[in-house]
Amino acid sequence: MPAGAAAAVLLLAGCSSAPPGEEGPFAGQEVRWRACYDERQVGELAGWGADAAWLETLECGTVAVPLDHDRPDGTVLEIALIRAPATGPAEERLGSLVLNPGGPGVSGIEMLDFPYFGDEVRSAFDLVSFDPRGVGESGGFACGDRYVLDDAFRRVADTDPEDLTDVELQPLEDAARRYAEACTEAVGEEFLAHLGTVNVVRDLDIVRDALGDERLSFVGYSYGTHIGALYAEMFPANTRALVLDGAVETELSNAGIALDQVAAHQNTWDMFAAHCAAEADGCPFAGADPEGGGADARMQELLAGLDREPAEVEGIPVDGETLLQMIGMELYHEESWDYLAALLGALASDDGEATARHLGELYDNTFGKYEDVDPEDVDPRLEHQDANAVFTAVNCADRADPEDVAAYRDAADRAAGLSPLFGPDLVWEQLPCAYWPESEEAPTGITAPDAPPIVVIGTVGDPATPYAWAEELADQLETGVLVTYEGAGHTLYGKERSPCVDRPVDAYLLTGEAPRSGLTCPRA
């Protein structure tokens, strides 16, 4: 973590770090930038694959915002920022390009540990990212026992959701309610009520002002597209250029979102299975009828075999549930599909040595390096607990959700029909929202009619943010322009995966000229 991080939540009344201005008491701030990492931290991060020279350029700071924007004299939060200064001549720079990596709950500070974008964009812009309120160094928190909740979900996993009785649902309902109550007790109802995206957007406009930018240039990935679209709706006059990659749906309940995502996971899985059968020697899905669910059935056999006799990675057991979790995460990364296919081929052929080797590579890629970590020193149940808490808190704050557990049971039943592999889990995870404190929900019906052109990027095989959502958002935004990538994976701009996408979007950020409407790029 960056050195010298300031306390994220200041329990102050009637004061702020900014002088009064025409736009309110938080306008006119000046960010005090400092080096993010000391020599020791640079060395540690470089050991994990980061570039030491890049890390040494990074600068960190904070901007003050009110917890409740309607009560600017109340509690004040500190929003943590990070920037990589532009590399080009001062006279050719275009200001800041603000980034959000998604989530909600993903740290924007950690995002910039690695470079993004090409030389032209990095030359022209200071790359700036931030931890939104409630995330990481901007008041990140943990609450509740997520694994009591997960255990309750797991106990009903083998039962068809439509067959679950009220008695069988009661423990799941109780666990979800206790989780919501524990979060409220841990961080306070007022804090949870103000974590929604509408307040993140208000914070972002204060950040824009503090950076000295008259208008915002922004790249948002996944959940970050919600931030960007809502910013254009609320602050069109302050908008310069927005790239929204992996658009999220903004109208549905969280259970409805989960149903769309289950279908998207299945779609991407089908794309992978077809790729495996066509390209990989020994693929267990060769000859299987994808329309008839042949790959699904074969995969379920492999998962059941691991449940009977788990494999091991450096002493860590990998059962069917763990492998399916790894597969779900690897569907996000089209470039790793050949490794995944090789693992499944080895597993299907009972090649223990090759299975162990490929499984180690996949485990490393999915969960991070494990070679120097004693498994006894790691409680995997606590991994990303903060991110999970924020993810739930923001989603529950943003959307109107049903309060009857039967509505979630019905949605889980529909999910089971959409995907035999990925099924109801995504729906059950939304259940705490039935018991969440009231909040200011994010506005719906976003059209941003007064904003300049906005670029929306959609990937046909995106497992997390279905391509249909990108189509919907581009159509919904009056100035939206859709760019389509025909491959798979979750978000791609600026990651050197598709020059066909990167080049016109780079030009848009640099000049304001949007790509031609309907641009479609083939799989790289």
- Which residues face 98 on adjacent strands? 128, 218
Amino acid residing at 471: E
How many CA atoms are closer than 13 Å to the CA of 255, on its beta-carbon side? 22
CA angle 410, 414, 418 (to 5 degrees): 165
Give the span between the Cα atoms of 207 and 455, in whole angstroms.
22
- What's the CA dihedral at 440, 445, 450, 453 to 10 degrees? 110
Give the span between the Cα atoms of 319 and 312, in whole angstroms.
9
In contact, 100 and 82? CB cutoff 8 Å: no
Q: Tokens 């309110």 identify what position?
A: 24
DSSP per residue, 197-246 = HHHHHHHHHHHHHHHT-SSEEEEEETHHHHHHHHHHHH-GGGEEEEEEES
In contact, 116 and 147? CB cutoff 8 Å: no
Radius of gyration of the chain (CA): 23
**In this structure, what token pair is assigned to residue 268?**
């991407």
| Residue-level pLDDT at 9 | 43
Q: Residues with catalytic annotation?
A: 222, 462, 490
Amino acid residing at 202: R
For the chain, the structural domain boundaries read 254-367
244-291 confidence digits (pLDDT tens): 999 999 999 999 999 999 999 999 999 999 999 999 989 999 887 756
330-389 confidence digits (pLDDT tens): 999 998 899 899 999 999 999 888 888 888 888 777 665 434 433 333 333 334 346 789
Q: Which of 91-95, 320-324, 512-516 has the lowest mean pLDDT?
A: 320-324
Report residue 242: phi and psi, to 5°: -130, 130
In contact, 86 and 80? CB cutoff 8 Å: no
What secondary structure letter does DSSP report for 101? -
The residue among 127, 128, 109 whose CA lies nearest residue 117 is 127
**Helix ranges restricted to H, 280-368:** 294-308, 320-330, 337-348, 352-367
Give the span between the Cα atoms of 446 and 448, in whole angstroms.
6
- Which residues face 99 on adjacent strands? 129, 219
Q: Is the pLDDT of residue 62 over 50?
A: yes
Query: How much of the chain exceeds pLDDT 90, in percent?
Result: 75
Q: Is the pLDDT of residue 44 over 70?
A: yes
Give the span between the Cα atoms of 321 and 213, in whole angstroms.
48
Give the span between the Cα atoms of 183 and 493, in whole angstroms.
35
| Residue-level pLDDT at 367 | 64
Give the span between the Cα atoms of 384 and 325, in whole angstroms.
15
- CA 366 to the chain's CA centroid: 15
Give the span between the Cα atoms of 10 and 154, in whole angstroms.
39
98-153 confidence digits (pLDDT tens): 999 999 999 999 999 888 899 999 999 999 999 999 999 999 998 988 888 889 98
- Which residues face 160 on adjacent strands? none
The residue among 459, 519, 468 whose CA lies nearest residue 487 is 459
The pLDDT confidence band at residue 10, using thresholds 50, 70 and 90, is very low
The residue among 59, 60, 79 whose CA lies nearest residue 131 is 79
| Residue-level pLDDT at 146 | 82
Report residue 317: phi and psi, to 5°: -70, 140
Give the span between the Cα atoms of 231 and 224, in whole angstroms.
11
Give the span between the Cα atoms of 460 and 468, in whole angstroms.
8
| Residue-level pLDDT at 386 | 60
DSSP per residue, 188-199 = -HHHHHT-SHHH
**Ranges 16-25, 221-230, 358-367, 368-377, most confident:** 221-230
**In this structure, what token pair is assigned to residue 453?**
């052109």
Query: What 3-state DSSP class applies to 14?
Result: coil
Q: Tokens 């066509």 identify what position?
A: 278
468-497 confidence digits (pLDDT tens): 999 999 999 999 999 999 999 999 999 888
Question: Helices 254-279 and 337-348: crossing angle, nearest 10°?
Answer: 70
Query: What 3-state DSSP class applies to 288?
Result: coil
| Omega before 104 within 30 of 0, i.e. cis | yes
Q: What mean pLDDT value characterizes the chain? A: 89
Give the span between the Cα atoms of 430 and 422, in whole angstroms.
15
